[in-house]
Chain A
Amino acid sequence: MTNVFRKGWRPAAVLLLLFILWELAVNFAEVPAWLLPPPTDIIQEAVMGWEGFRMHLQSTVLLSLWGFAIGTAIGLLTAVILHLLPFIRESIYPLLILSQNVPIIVLAPLLVVWFGFGVLPKLIVITLVCFFPITVAALDGFRQTPGELRHYMLMAGAGRGQLFWKLELPYSLPSLFSGLKISATYSVMGAVISEWLGAKAGIGVYMTLASSSFRTDRVFVAIFAIMLLSLLFFGGILLAERLLIKWKSRESGRK
């Protein structure tokens, strides 16, 4: 924890400085609040409007967590299947890359047309943005197992299953966690985008309402909430990584 403060004070100070500059610039140039509100206004709105904002936040957090969980599960499953069945990898992997080239903004309304306004199209959107970094990271991890370890395992008589569970999977964990970190932050973005399309609650809904009524201060509240949420998710993954990969964190801690 002390480490966080020791390393974190510099960016925090820069952030604070930026806010002060922003406040001064807005006041000095007399920019109207609907165009660009000063930070103090935004903080005030965040505190005053907390009651109304809370349910939106809650809904987005829940949606992102579910989406992330499903995306992770599908991402891992895809990676394992593609890894263990090379002929499937050769035919599917290029298509996976294509799937990432479809703009979500275009795809999302289509999903609503197909699946309605329920939770399903939203989860599909989040899963689509989440699973890919995990699949790629896990696949890379599986394939980068050192030849000497693989040779030992084979000489010792390991079967395909043992090779996977005792070597490839544990070896890929650090790489997998890099993918999880990316996906964790994507999941919040995915949730917000999917809420734009139509939902009863969520930061995405709150944001659309705010911008259409020129409540720029609320838009900024939403932006900061999204940033904070992404940061929290990222931190959560970081913590899980520390707990799970003791052998690696100590190693790099030494250097």
Chain B
Amino acid sequence: MIQLSVNSLTKSFDSNRVLSNLSFQVNEGEFVSILGPSGSGKSTIFNLIGGMLLPDEGSITLGNVEISGKRGSISYMPQTPSLMPWRTTLQNVLLGQEIMGKADPETARKMLQKAGLGDYENAYPHELSGGMKQRTAFIRALLSPQPIILLDEPFSALDELTRLDMQKWLLDIWNEHKPTILFVTHNIEEAIYLSDRILILGSKPAKVVQEFKVTFGRPRMEEIFLDENFLECKRSIHYALKTH
């Protein structure tokens, strides 16, 4: 079932056309990545879906409801953790729920336990490591009541080892809850490892130039990074990015 549908979106800033006729769909329970070079208009796409900007043309529907210009329709995890420094981990993960209505500390506590943050429930953000902050930010997004989560290059600021850890952790959590996820990244391996489907974005103006189905089964192990098929997949995506 189609969850999020972006239909022939066009957006310009002054005379600068950023998006042109952009269309894609995300199905319920699907993990879709948008892969594109920096400056290819990825944040503009997120701001449009998040309701921060209005498209010049085209529409965005969630379920069957038009959501362009409606903030709060999607759950969001930004590039930086963006935790409130005066809130403890528990209070921070409840923020998304608080904004939309009612907070449910019990579920949040259980989820923190499972995510390995149980001992840090009452810690303030400055007491957490970079990876722990990102986990907190992701759980906040997961607990928010909206049906789809947008992740905006969430691991790009982390070091390589922490990033691998976080990717594995994200897959574990995703396997358990199966939320619908739209993931933006510029890391090819990350996209293959995590997603069901990868949309390659061409830049200036951005549009989907190619689509890849990732055929690896789930749950996925780290070993697939060394798999022949993985490398083959990486190669074709690389070429697709190069030629557009």
Question: Residues of A at under 8 Å CB distance from B?
Answer: 148-149, 151-158, 162, 166-167, 170-171, 173, 245-248, 250-251, 254
Contact = CB atoms under 8 A, between A and B. Distances in A.
Interface of B: 46, 50-52, 71-76, 78, 80, 82, 84-86, 95-96, 98-100, 124, 126-127, 144, 150
A250 B52 CA distance: 35
Q: 5 closest Cβ contacts across the A-B interface?
A: A157-B72, A152-B82, A155-B76, A155-B50, A247-B124
Contacts of A154: 50, 52, 71
Contacts of B86: 170-171, 173, 245, 247-248
Contact of B73 (A148, A149, A153, A157): A157
Contact of A166 (B78, B95, B124): B95
A246 B127 CA distance: 12
Given A148-B78, A149-B82, A156-B95, 7 more contacts: A153-B99, A155-B72, A156-B100, A157-B99, A171-B86, A245-B86, A247-B126
A148 B98 CA distance: 19
A149 B81 CA distance: 9
A3 B100 CA distance: 45
A171 to B, nearest CB: 8
Nearest to B50: A155
30 contacts: A148-B78, A148-B80, A151-B78, A151-B82, A152-B76, A153-B99, A154-B50, A154-B52, A155-B50, A155-B76, A155-B78, A156-B95, A157-B72, A157-B73, A157-B100, A158-B72, A158-B99, A162-B99, A166-B84, A166-B95, A166-B99, A170-B86, A171-B86, A173-B86, A247-B124, A247-B126, A250-B124, A250-B126, A251-B124, A251-B126
Contact of B85 (A156, A162, A247, A254): A247
Contacts of B82: 148-149, 151-152
Nearest to A153: B99
Contacts of B99: 153, 156-158, 162, 166
A156 B72 contact: yes
A251 B127 CA distance: 8
Contacts of B100: 156-157
B183 to A, nearest CB: 15
Contacts of A167: 84
A155 B71 contact: yes
A95 B85 CA distance: 35
Contact of A157 (B46, B71, B80, B127): B71
Contacts of A248: 85-86
A148 B83 CA distance: 9
Contacts of B78: 148, 151-152, 155
**Most B CB within 10 A of own CB, among A156, A157, A167, A248:** A156
A134 B4 CA distance: 47
A170 to B, nearest CB: 5
Nearest to A162: B99
A240 to B, nearest CB: 15
Contacts of B74: 155
A167 B95 CA distance: 11
B84 A170 contact: yes
Contacts of A156: 71-72, 75-76, 95-96, 99-100, 144
Contacts of B126: 247, 250-251, 254
Contacts of B96: 156
Contacts of B98: 166
A106 B74 CA distance: 59
